[in-house]
Amino acid sequence: MSGVRVGIVDDQALVRTGFRLVLSAEPGIEVVGEASDGREAIELVRTASPEVLLMDVRMPGMDGIEATAAISGRAGAPHILVLTTFDLDEYAFAAIRAGASGFLLKDVRPDELVAAIRTVHAGEAALSPRVTRRMLELFADRVPALPRDGGASGGSGASDGGGAPDVIAALTPREREILVAIGEGLNNTELAERFFLSESTVKTHVGRLLQKLDARDRVRLVIIAYEHGLLLADAGGSASGTPATGD
């Protein structure tokens, strides 16, 4: 069985080599190519069809934000993991808003790198609770303004500000609670524990959220929650972990 097809994008050859050595030694992962800037990344996606792309955001020429927006808007786009040196990096968060599915520090441990690749390949978001808290700290005072900037939403029609409030209002109380908790960085096991549900029921709710909000993956749900101020609005309500009725 072929492994997860991975592409590596970084302007530093030494960084690319380091990631390639780590990943080439991992069963079930295949490095299919490298690129040194955003334009080469777009060509790599076209010619090598990676399923996961490790994307540096700070590169000369076309940076990772612009490349992420260009790639994530295409049919069959790979999941993109943002690479950065700083855990509080507005460039990296901008790339996530542009369509990336996760966020990694360049000094990530090999096992964490591999786990993140497998996580986004499975359609989950590689965003730790610490990172989501950082996002809220950065953008809390600007959340209501985000939908007006016309930024890329990575395929989520709910996050561009056009008609999205009606879609959010159409969520059931339980779906809204789960969306808020996803925005806080909870995984399915943690969601099940918070709301006293089985994991299969949680998966059903998450699937409905993805469908209703036209979201490509779980990280889009995180962005939607931030963009529409749900974490702020629900800070003293459903985000507190009080179970809702009417599953």
d(CA 154, CA 218): 12
Give the separation between CA 213 and CA 36, rounded to whole angstroms.
34
The half-sphere exposure of 34 on its side-chain side, counting CA atoms within 13 A, is: 15
pLDDT grade, residue 85 (50/70/90)? confident
pLDDT at 37 over 70: yes
Strand order in the sheet with 102-105: 29-35, 4-9, 52-56, 79-84, 102-105
d(CA 73, CA 243): 36
The domain that holds 18 is classified in CATH as: 3.40.50.2300
The secondary structure of residue 86, as a DSSP letter, is -
What's the pTM value of the predicted model, to 2 decimals? 0.67
pLDDT class for 120, splitting at 50, 70, 90?
A: confident
Residue of 237 and 201 predicted with greater confidence = 201
Q: Same structural domain for residues 149 and 41?
A: no
Do 73 and 62 touch, CB atoms closer than 8 A? Answer: no
Tokens of 174: 């339980």
Q: Are both 147 and 39 inside the same structural domain? A: no
Of 126, 151, 184, the residue that ends a domain is 126
Q: What is the pLDDT of residue 233?
A: 52
Q: Are residues 165 and 217 in the same domain?
A: yes
Q: Is residue 193 part of a domain?
A: yes
Least confident of 11-15, 65-69, 224-228: 224-228
Confidence label for 3 from pLDDT (cuts 50, 70 and 90): confident
Q: How many residues make up the chain in this entry?
A: 247
Instruction: Report the range of poorest mean pLDDT among 71-80, 133-142, 180-189.
Output: 133-142
Same-domain check for residues 117 and 226: no
What total of structural domains would you count in the chain? 2
Q: Are residues 118 and 41 in the same domain?
A: yes
Among candidate residues 204, 205, 216, the one with its CA nearest the CA of residue 159: 216
Is residue 245 in some structural domain? no
Report the pLDDT averaged over residues 207-228. 84
* Residue at which a domain ends, from 76, 92, 126: 126
Q: Which DSSP string corresponds to 204-234?
A: HHHHHHHHHTT-SSHHHHHHHHHHTTHHHHT
The mean pLDDT of the chain is 79
pLDDT of residue 17: 95
What is the mean pLDDT of the segment spanning 60-84? 90
Question: In 3-state terms, what secondary structure has residue 173?
Answer: helix
Q: Which domain holds residue 73?
A: 4-126
pLDDT of amino acid 104? 82
114 in Cβ contact with 23 (< 8 Å): yes
User: Which range is least confidently modeled, 63-72, 142-151, 171-180, 230-239?
Assistant: 142-151
Cα gap 207→91, rounded to integer Å: 29
